């Protein structure tokens, strides 16, 4: 069992399986760091998966599908941001609502556009390095599709944005002390909108990775909880890009391993293996795996000073709010 | 100069404003729901070539328009009521229990085990099974409750994670230790006794009655007892509650135990009342529907029940509509989701937290910003 | 881009006070021009602001000269905060004009005010404590969010600022780890970085030791010498008299008068503030009246607590309070007072030592130990419950309206609590209101009604008059005096020395978790107490 080839296979598969989780994990990370908890990653992924497959099937190109999914993700992210930031709706409820709508909408649309469910019609991303893979064992690990590479490349990009740009600094501040950021004259609402839209785009992209890269099909409910796995990933990664990457790779490899376990005669209960990522995230949350601190203002709606009368901040005078 | 002359005049207006803040979104949700069902549902049906009249006829018959439909609506809403009550209790104590789904699963598991090992006769067996379900759910919620109270762990994240572990635990149990010998699909053995039916020729059972009774009890407990008052104090301001002598940490754990227990009871009732056996994924999201009902109801027990029944009715009506016209159940999901989003988004934007005017406490003590967090549960004795 | 001429131009520097300028000899542009020949730095005319039926600011006009320290004095509720928020751009006035340097301006929002050269240091700082000082200042100065992070230039500016104004600031420290005094300096640094011409300081000394206060005052002098005008908001007469060039008094939303700093006295100031001269009542009748009983009602014996990142460690603290006396704990906030109270109330277990409280156990029992928390919003009232429900929390065993099982008899509860409220000067109707509907003073009275009804034998009062107007303050002090006469043992924790001196029979001073001095009222004086509060044993 411990042959080299086995582990290469596991690693290669692990990367493939990690990618669809990495995108929404990074998206959820950005969103949550700004103070908006997005439990609707699952629904966004589903929309992205469908949209990617549908436009891919219609256009014949997986790239078009991928980009379309990102666009849809942006639009949906905008809606999410409007509800949670401008309307100050309960973030968990909105996320759950998105998940429900997504399930229904994609199921319905699948019926209307059956080609999306047909693997012959849905185009797929090809692996890029078949030649290298044939030539050497190790090559199999790097033989991934373009979106997988993009996904991994996103990690340093997200890191750079979070820690090396003004936007990232302001965003992190918004997640901990939105009132102070507001007092300093920065537009918390806009930053959160941007973060949530970015999150939506990434989540939807992750869904498209599922339907266009990992598989070439859309199946009803195909995300099966990956959106929540993404949440576990960035929680385990302690709200940091690098940690999130590590978590996703860990989960991906674990998944790949578990799939192969049965063939080896290991009778570790498959269901409990599935639970492992969540247990790991819990342990990280509790602090058994190093200190963990969620952004302090997560989940709470940000209400700018009521008595402010400014065009910049969307706040209104106390008097006009008399309900 | 008596200090309060200014405030008296405005107190009546404030009380109305306060009631609106508490139940406004709920009201908007119901009204929006009504319109959404008609407009969006009708549109979807027309596009799909289904007659809206037939569709709505099915929806109505399947929910409250016929005896059978009514029965199935009650059946469908029972676990939602119970999980909703659980979330509502936690909400009043200031804890956001997103783990009702997982607690429901564990409750179903424990209820199954209880029913399988407990002796007869029916009443005893069922009672013990339900108690087991309650306890199982309670423990599953007690852990994240403890983590929040004593370790400061964000309960939203922890309970979501616990959900998934619970679902897997149940799947494992049913595929392994509890598996019925010789069955093709994973499920437990058939349970010896089931909860008796409520309305003849319908699928409703006494689980609904239990849910209603518990609703009344929870409402009474939270609004009419001193203990309930103390729990709401913790929900309002845990630090202040501590300084009045309430053990806020213990209250949080207790609230979560009760909350999980109720959700677990929901699971046990579902298994014992409808399926009479356990199988993976027996809940299509009851826990989340309960959560939505509770949040829209701002934690008020009775309003939670009302919303839960509406949600349950929508689902059972949807199923009938599907049978009737071939309209896919997806329609119901879409409408349900949209209603949730609209209702959630209709909360009033600003919570009044200060008398505007001369250096009032908030203006003076709270620094330059009157921004206050939105999620504080309301507690007018309504 | 601003509408008004900037007064920080070299040519506009004026001198206000020569006494502390020996360290400014490197500023080469000192001009001997008198203040009066320049336009006012800030001028308000006819400012009105109404919130509903309340006239927060009623036709206020006043002027601040360049380079002066101009104090705004007034009771809580006089309209100072509203006026400052108008100047800082947080709210806009209903009518009236504001001029900067002689030019009328229309201040749209705080950002605009900042561009015009107006900065405000609030009582509660707008700092992000998970970031460093430099990152905080960077965000304050941020123009475009869509740029690369570049802290270099800022570091240089901070260094320069720090040297020029002798303002010690630790650029890489995490704000969460800074003392309150340091955080305040960061806020001031922010204002200077943003090139303030007018700097508003809102109750800056409430969180400082006497030593830090002198440092602040010296800094203020240096700043005004460079031309910055300082608006100093306070309710402390002594400080206002010490630092101000001129003092404007507000009362009930109206402007009353402006008094020159050297002509201000406690009498004319308080008369302007309240409308009549105030006699500070002293309640201490002399220690010959205290009948020491054998047993103290409250005793802390050699209590030590554990080391914790969020709290001050108490070290072998020993105190005793006897029935019929008030022990005052003086000291700046943050020297262990809160921790001491937490130990007394049982919220925190000491690692060594013991606590004895005679009183029938804490709160939800009957009157036993009463506690008035120092923060009525954070630690006092529950925001989503009515006042009568808030009061009810304290009465778990009161059979007047609770059945044995704990069911609340709503009507009798409301009636009983209304009566309790009346005893503390509140109308019965208050019982049905929410805490947010009441002003600070009323909320404090509600807290007193909650805790002090029923003759408690031990009272722990922390900052009981914080945020109260003079009438409210007198009421609280009279109440405590009455309770003492009735035999209660009272522990009074206060940052206001005058309050301690007015009420306490004995005084202990806390510094960094220790009791570093204890004396009777007769032996106490401001100087000695001030030194102890700053950590210097007398």
The pLDDT tens digits along chain C (538 residues) read 333 334 333 333 333 333 344 444 333 334 333 445 678 889 999 999 887 767 788 899 999 999 999 999 887 667 888 898 899 888 889 999 999 988 899 988 888 898 899 999 987 778 998 899 999 999 988 877 788 888 888 988 998 888 888 888 888 888 888 888 888 989 999 998 888 899 999 888 877 777 788 889 999 999 999 889 999 998 778 888 999 999 999 988 889 999 998 888 888 887 888 776 655 566 665 454 455 667 888 888 889 988 776 678 898 899 999 888 999 999 887 788 989 999 988 888 889 888 888 754 443 333 478 999 988 888 899 988 999 999 988 877 777 777 766 777 778 888 888 888 888 888 888 888 888 878 777 888 899 999 988 778 899 999 998 877 777 788 889 999 999 988 889 999 998 888 888 899 999 999 888 898 888 888 887 778 877 877 776 5
Domain for residue C421, yes or no? no
Which residues of chain C are within 8 Å of residue B356 when distances are taken between CB atoms?
Answer: 51-52, 54
Which residues of chain B are within 8 Å of residue A183 when distances are taken between CB atoms?
Answer: 368-369
Same domain flag for C48 and C167: no
Domain for residue B99, yes or no? yes
Domain for residue C187, yes or no? yes
Q: What pLDDT shows up at residue A318? A: 22
Cα–Cα distance for residue pair C422/C431, rounded to 1 Å: 10
Domain for residue B271, yes or no? yes
Domain for residue A133, yes or no? yes
Closest CA to C400 of C424, C416, C423: C416
pLDDT digits (tens, 9 = 90+) for B335-349: 888 888 888 887 654
Same domain flag for C261 and C224: yes
- Chains with at least 3 CB pairs less than 8 angstroms from chain C: A, B
Helix (H, G, I), strand (E, B) or coil at C63: strand
Domain for residue A255, yes or no? yes
- Counted domains in chain B: 1
Domain for residue C368, yes or no? no
Q: Does A165 sit within 8 Å of C149, measured CB to CB?
A: yes
Q: Which of residues 99-118 of B touch A (CB under 8 A)?
A: none
- For C251, phi then psi, to 5°, come to -150, 125
Which residues of chain B are within 8 Å of residue A274 when distances are taken between CB atoms?
Answer: 168
Residue among A176, A184, A319 minimizing CB distance to C130:
A176
Residue A29: which CATH number?
Answer: 1.10.3470
Same domain flag for C21 and C106: yes
Asked if this assembly's ipTM is beyond 0.90, the reply is no
Same domain flag for C105 and C251: yes
Q: Does C108 sit within 8 Å of A170, measured CB to CB?
A: no
Which residues of chain B are within 8 Å of residue C421 when distances are taken between CB atoms?
Answer: none
Same domain flag for C90 and C146: no
Q: Which residue of C has its CA nearest to B16?
A: C433
Domain for residue B326, yes or no? no
Cα–Cα distance for residue pair A119/A124, rounded to 1 Å: 9
Domain for residue C102, yes or no? yes
Tell me which of C194, C218, C235 is where a domain ends: C194
Helix residue ranges per DSSP H, chain A = 4-33, 41-59, 62-81, 91-112, 130-135, 139-142, 146-164, 166-176, 178-183, 188-208, 226-236, 241-261, 270-286
Domain for residue B279, yes or no? yes
Q: Are A234 and A247 in contact (CB under 8 A)?
A: yes
The parent domain of residue C151 ranges over: 126-194
Give the CA distances from residue B66 to residues B60, B71, B201, C232, in Å, rounded to whole numbers and listed in that order. 8, 8, 12, 74
Q: Which residue of A has its CA nearest to B343?
A: A89
Q: What pLDDT shows up at residue B377? A: 28
Parts of chain B with a pLDDT under 70: 1-26, 347-382
Domain for residue B372, yes or no? no
Residue among B5, B226, B357 minimizing CB distance to C56:
B357
β-pair partners for C369: C458
CB-count burial class (<10 Å; 0-12, 13-18, 19+) for A252? buried
Cα–Cα distance for residue pair A207/A51, rounded to 1 Å: 9
Q: Are C307 and C474 in contact (CB under 8 A)?
A: no
Query: Is the minimum CB–CB distance between A183 and chain C shorter than 8 Å?
Result: yes
- For C515, phi then psi, to 5°, come to -90, 110
Q: What angle do CA A149, A154, A155 make, to 5 degrees?
A: 110
β-pair partners for C174: C132
Query: Is the minimum CB–CB distance between B237 and chain C shorter than 8 Å?
Result: yes
The pLDDT tens digits along chain A (323 residues) read 567 788 888 889 999 999 999 999 999 999 999 999 999 999 999 999 999 999 999 998 999 999 999 999 999 999 999 999 988 888 999 999 999 999 999 998 988 888 878 877 788 888 888 777 777 777 888 888 899 999 999 999 999 999 999 999 999 999 988 888 888 888 899 999 999 999 999 999 999 999 999 988 898 889 988 999 999 899 888 899 999 999 999 999 888 887 777 676 666 677 788 888 888 888 888 876 555 567 777 766 665 543 333 333 222 222 222 22
Domain for residue B120, yes or no? yes
Q: Does A285 sit within 8 Å of B292, measured CB to CB?
A: no
Domain for residue A5, yes or no? no
Give the CA distances from residue A116 to residues A49, A319, C306, in Å, rounded to whole numbers and listed in that order. 10, 52, 64
Same domain flag for C178 and C316: no
Q: Does A169 sit within 8 Å of C147, measured CB to CB?
A: no
- Chains with at least 3 CB pairs less than 8 angstroms from chain A: B, C
Q: Does A167 sit within 8 Å of C130, measured CB to CB?
A: no
Residue C42: which CATH number?
Answer: 3.40.50.300
Domain for residue B234, yes or no? yes
Which helix (DSSP H) or strand (DSSP E) does residue C44 occupy? strand C42-51
Cα–Cα distance for residue pair B78/C457, rounded to 1 Å: 52
Q: Does C442 sit within 8 Å of B4, measured CB to CB?
A: yes
Q: Does C440 sit within 8 Å of B359, measured CB to CB?
A: yes
- The sign of the torsion formed by the CA atoms of B89, B92, B95, B98 equals positive
Cα–Cα distance for residue pair B294/B286, rounded to 1 Å: 12
Which residues of chain C are within 8 Å of residue A33 when distances are taken between CB atoms?
Answer: none
Pairing verdict, β C42-51 and C118-121: unpaired
Q: A161, A169, A322: which to substitute to probe chain C, counting the most C Cβ within 10 Å? A: A169
Q: Are C223 and C230 in contact (CB under 8 A)?
A: yes
Q: C-alpha dihedral over B318, B319, B321, B327, to 10 degrees?
A: 90
Residues in chain B, how many? Answer: 382
- Counted domains in chain C: 3
Domain for residue C15, yes or no? yes
Domain for residue C72, yes or no? yes
Which helix (DSSP H) or strand (DSSP E) does residue C249 occupy? strand C246-251
The parent domain of residue B281 ranges over: 76-313
Query: Is the minimum CB–CB distance between B236 and chain C shorter than 8 Å?
Result: yes
Q: Does B375 sit within 8 Å of A90, measured CB to CB?
A: yes
Residue among B160, B171, B341 minimizing CB distance to A97:
B341
The parent domain of residue A293 ranges over: 12-321
At C349, list the tokens: 């277990």
Q: Does A282 sit within 8 Å of B165, measured CB to CB?
A: yes
Same domain flag for C64 and C29: yes
Q: Does B245 sit within 8 Å of C364, measured CB to CB?
A: yes
Q: What pLDDT shows up at residue C433? A: 85
Give the CA distances from residue A294 to residues B105, B164, C396, in Å, rounded to whole numbers and listed in that order. 27, 20, 37
Q: Are C463 and C374 in contact (CB under 8 A)?
A: yes
Same domain flag for C186 and C203: no
User: What are the residues whose beta carbons fall under 8 Å from the beta carbon of C411, sequence distance 6 or more?
Assistant: none
Domain for residue C369, yes or no? no
Instruction: Please give the sequence-ordered ranges of beta strands (E in DSSP) within C75-142, or none if there are none.
Output: 95-100, 103-105, 118-121
User: What are the residues whose beta carbons fall under 8 Å from the beta carbon of C327, sequence distance 6 or more?
Assistant: C319, C320, C321, C489, C490, C491, C492, C504, C505, C506, C507, C508
SS3 sequence, B182-227?
Answer: CCCCCCECCCCCCCCECCCCCCCECHHHHHHHHHHHHHHHHHHEHH
| pTM beyond cutoff 0.95 | no
First vs last Cα of chain B: how many Å apart? Answer: 35
Which residues of chain B are within 8 Å of residue C407 when distances are taken between CB atoms?
Answer: 224-226
- Counted domains in chain A: 1
Query: Is the minimum CB–CB distance between C309 and chain B shorter than 8 Å?
Result: no
Same domain flag for C169 and C253: no
Residue among B8, B244, B377 minimizing CB distance to C363:
B244
> What number of C-beta contacts closer than 8 Å exist between A and B?
193
Same domain flag for C214 and C77: yes
pLDDT digits (tens, 9 = 90+) for B195-242: 888 877 778 888 999 999 999 999 999 988 888 999 999 999 999 999
Domain for residue C383, yes or no? no
Query: Is the minimum CB–CB distance between B241 and chain C shorter than 8 Å?
Result: yes
Query: Is the minimum CB–CB distance between B34 and chain A shorter than 8 Å?
Result: no
Q: What pLDDT shows up at residue A139? A: 81
Query: Is the minimum CB–CB distance between A304 and chain C shorter than 8 Å?
Result: no
Same domain flag for C168 and C203: no
User: What are the residues whose beta carbons fall under 8 Å from the beta carbon of C153, sequence distance 6 or more?
Assistant: none
Q: What pLDDT shows up at residue A320? A: 22
Cα–Cα distance for residue pair A64/A47, rounded to 1 Å: 15
Tell me which of C149, C168, C194 is where a domain ends: C194
Same domain flag for C261 and C335: no
Domain for residue B333, yes or no? no
Q: Does C108 sit within 8 Å of A310, measured CB to CB?
A: yes
């Amino acid at each position: 069992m411990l042959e080299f080839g086995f582990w290469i296979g596991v690693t290669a598969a692990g990367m493939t399986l990690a990618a669809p989780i990495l995108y929404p994990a990074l998206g959820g990370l950005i969103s949550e760091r700004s103070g908006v908890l997005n439990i609707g990653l699952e629904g966004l992924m589903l929309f992205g998966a469908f949209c990617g497959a549908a436009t891919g099937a219609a256009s014949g190109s997986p790239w078009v599908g991928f980009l379309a999914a990102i666009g849809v993700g942006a639009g949906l992210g905008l809606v999410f941001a409007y509800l949670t930031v401008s309307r100050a709706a309960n973030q968990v409820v909105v996320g759950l609502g998105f998940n429900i709508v997504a399930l229904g909408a994609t199921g319905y649309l699948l019926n209307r556009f059956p080609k999306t469910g047909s693997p012959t019609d849905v185009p797929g991303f090809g692996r890029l390095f078949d030649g290298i893979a044939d030539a050497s064992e190790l090559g199999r690990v790097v033989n991934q599709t373009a979106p997988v590479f993009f996904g991994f490349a996103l990690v340093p990009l997200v890191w750079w944005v979070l820690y090396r740009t003004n936007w990232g600094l302001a965003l992190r501040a918004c997640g901990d002390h939105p009132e102070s950021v507001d007092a300093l004259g920065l537009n918390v609402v806009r930053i959160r909108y941007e973060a949530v839209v970015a999150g939506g785009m990434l989540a939807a992209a992750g869904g498209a990775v599922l339907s266009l890269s990992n598989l070439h099909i859309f199946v009803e409910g195909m995300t099966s909880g990956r959106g929540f796995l993404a949440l576990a990933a960035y929680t385990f990664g302690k709200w940091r890009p690098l940690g999130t990457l590590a978590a996703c790779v860990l989960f991906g490899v674990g998944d790949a391993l578990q799939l192969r376990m049965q063939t080896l005669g290991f009778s570790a209960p498959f269901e409990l293996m599935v639970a492992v990522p969540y247990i790991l995230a819990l342990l990280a949350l509790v602090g058994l795996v190093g200190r963990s601190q969620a952004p302090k203002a997560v989940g709470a709606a940000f209400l700018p000073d009521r008595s402010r009368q400014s065009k910049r901040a969307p706040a209104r005078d106390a008097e006009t709010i008399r309900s | 100069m008596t200090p309060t002359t200014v405030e008296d005049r405005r107190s009546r207006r404030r009380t109305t404003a306060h009631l609106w803040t508490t139940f406004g979104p709920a009201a908007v949700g119901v009204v929006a729901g009504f319109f959404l069902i008609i407009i969006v549902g009708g549109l979807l049906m027309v596009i799909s070539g289904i007659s809206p009249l037939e569709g709505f006829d099915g929806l109505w018959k399947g929910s409250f328009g016929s005896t059978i439909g009514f029965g199935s609506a009650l059946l469908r809403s029972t676990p939602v009521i119970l999980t909703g009550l659980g979330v509502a209790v936690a909400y009043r104590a200031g804890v956001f229990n997103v783990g009702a789904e997982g607690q429901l699963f564990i409750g179903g598991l424990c209820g199954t085990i209880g029913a399988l090992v407990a002796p007869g006769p029916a009443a005893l067996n069922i009672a013990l099974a339900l108690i087991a379900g309650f306890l199982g759910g309670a423990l599953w919620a007690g852990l994240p409750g403890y983590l929040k109270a004593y370790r400061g762990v964000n309960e939203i994240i922890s309970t979501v994670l616990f959900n998934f572990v619970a679902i897997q635990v149940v799947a494992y149990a049913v595929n392994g230790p509890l598996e019925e010998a010789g069955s093709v699909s994973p499920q437990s053995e058939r349970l010896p006794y089931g909860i008796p039916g409520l309305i003849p020729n319908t699928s409703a059972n006494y689980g609904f009655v239990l849910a209603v009774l518990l609703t009344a009890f929870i409402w009474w407990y939270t609004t009419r007892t001193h203990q309930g008052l103390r729990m709401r104090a913790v929900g309002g301001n845990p630090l202040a509650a501590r300084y009045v002598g309430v053990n806020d940490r213990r209250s949080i754990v207790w609230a979560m135990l009760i909350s999980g227990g109720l959700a677990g009871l929901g699971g046990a009732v579902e298994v014992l009342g409808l399926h009479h056996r356990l199988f993976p994924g027996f809940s299509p999201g009851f826990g989340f529907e309960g959560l939505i009902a509770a949040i829209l109801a701002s934690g008020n027990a009775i309003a939670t029940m009302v919303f839960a029944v509406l949600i349950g009715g929508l689902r059972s009506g949807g199923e009938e509509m599907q049978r009737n016209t071939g309209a896919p159940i997806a329609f119901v999901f879409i409408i349900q989701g949209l209603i949730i989003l609209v209702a959630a988004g209709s909360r009033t934007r600003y919570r009044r937290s200060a008398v505007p005017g001369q250096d009032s406490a908030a203006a003076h003590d709270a620094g330059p910003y009157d921004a206050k967090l939105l999620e504080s549960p309301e507690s007018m004795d309504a | 881009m601003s509408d008004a001429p900037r007064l920080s131009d070299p040519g506009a520097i004026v001198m206000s006070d020569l006494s502390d300028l020996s360290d400014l000899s490197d500023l080469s542009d000192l001009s001997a021009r008198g203040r009066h020949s320049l336009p006012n730095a800030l001028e308000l005319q006819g400012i009105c602001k109404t919130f509903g039926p309340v006239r927060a600011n009623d036709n206020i006009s006043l002027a601040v000269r360049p380079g002066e320290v101009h104090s705004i004095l007034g009771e809580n509720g006089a309209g100072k905060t509203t006026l400052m928020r108008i100047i800082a751009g947080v709210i806009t006035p209903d009518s009236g004009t504001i001029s900067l340097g002689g030019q009328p301006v229309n201040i749209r929002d705080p950002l605009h005010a900042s561009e015009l050269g107006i900065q405000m240091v609030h009582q509660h700082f707008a700092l992000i404590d998970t970031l460093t000082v430099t990152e905080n200042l960077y965000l304050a100065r941020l123009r475009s969010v869509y740029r690369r992070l570049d802290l270099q230039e800022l570091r240089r500016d901070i260094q320069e600022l720090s040297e020029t104004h002798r303002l010690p600031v630790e650029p890489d420290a995490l704000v969460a780890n800074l003392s309150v005094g340091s955080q305040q300096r960061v806020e001031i640094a922010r204002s200077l970085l943003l090139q303030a011409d007018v700097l508003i300081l809102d109750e800056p000394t409430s969180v400082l030791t006497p030593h830090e206060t002198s440092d602040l005052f010296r800094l203020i002098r240096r700043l005004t010498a460079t031309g910055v005008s300082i608006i100093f908001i306070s309710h402390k007469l002594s400080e206002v008299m010490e630092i101000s060039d001129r003092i404007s008094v507000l009362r009930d939303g109206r402007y009353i008068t402006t008094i020159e700093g050297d002509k201000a006295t406690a009498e004319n100031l308080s008369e302007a503030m309240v409308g009549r001269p105030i006699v500070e009542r002293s309640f201490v009748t002399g220690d010959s009246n205290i009948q020491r009983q054998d047993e103290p009602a409250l005793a802390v014996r050699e209590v030590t607590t554990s080391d914790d990142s969020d709290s001050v460690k108490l070290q072998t603290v020993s105190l005793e309070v006897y029935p019929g006396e008030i022990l005052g704990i003086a000291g700046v906030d943050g020297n262990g007072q809160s921790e001491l109270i937490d130990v007394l109330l049982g919220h925190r277990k000491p690692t060594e030592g013991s606590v004895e409280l005679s009183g029938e156990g804490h709160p939800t029992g009957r009157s036993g130990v009463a506690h008035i928390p120092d923060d009525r919003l954070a630690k006092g009232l529950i925001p989503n419950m009515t006042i009568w429900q808030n009061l009810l929390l304290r009465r778990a065993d009161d059979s007047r309206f609770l059945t044995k099982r704990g069911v609340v008899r709503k009507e009798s509860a409301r009636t009983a609590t209304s009566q309790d409220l009346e005893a503390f000067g509140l109308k019965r109707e208050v019982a049905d209101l929410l805490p947010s509907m009441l002003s600070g003073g009323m909320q404090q009275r509600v807290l007193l009604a909650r805790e002090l009804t029923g003759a408690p034998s031990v009272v722990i009062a922390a900052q009981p008059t914080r945020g109260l107007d003079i009438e409210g303050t007198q009421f609280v002090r009279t109440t405590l005096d009455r309770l003492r006469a009735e035999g209660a043992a009272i522990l009074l924790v206060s940052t206001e020395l005058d309050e301690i001196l007015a009420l306490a029979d004995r005084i202990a001073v806390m510094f960094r978790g220790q009791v570093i001095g204890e004396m009777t009222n007769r032996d106490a004086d401001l100087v000695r107490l001030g030194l102890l509060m700053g950590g210097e044993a007398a």
